[in-house]
Structure 1
């Protein structure tokens, strides 16, 4: 049982930090994806206007 407690205390913090960072990166990636989609739509509209 002591081995499990040691493992949780050693690994728990890095796991929490990793999950937090992945959550933040996911939100930023959603913004990048949205920007790329708007850019392609804008380029298509500009190309049709010429």
Structure 2
């Protein structure tokens, strides 16, 4: 079986950063549980402000 790496960039609308972050974090466990998933990571750009 070959391995595939997918990189996706998501940019939220101004003011929706916290909601987008919550939604993406909520996908982590379910995605990691998918058959064949070897790794799933979320990253925040150092160029953008991380929601607090």
Q: Under TM normalisation by the shorter chain, which class is it?
A: 0.3 to 0.5
TM-score by length of 2: 0.37
TM-score by length of 1: 0.38
Q: Which has the higher contact order (CA 8 A, sep 6+)?
A: 2
Give 1 or 2 for the bigger CA radius of gyration: 1
Greater fraction helix? 1
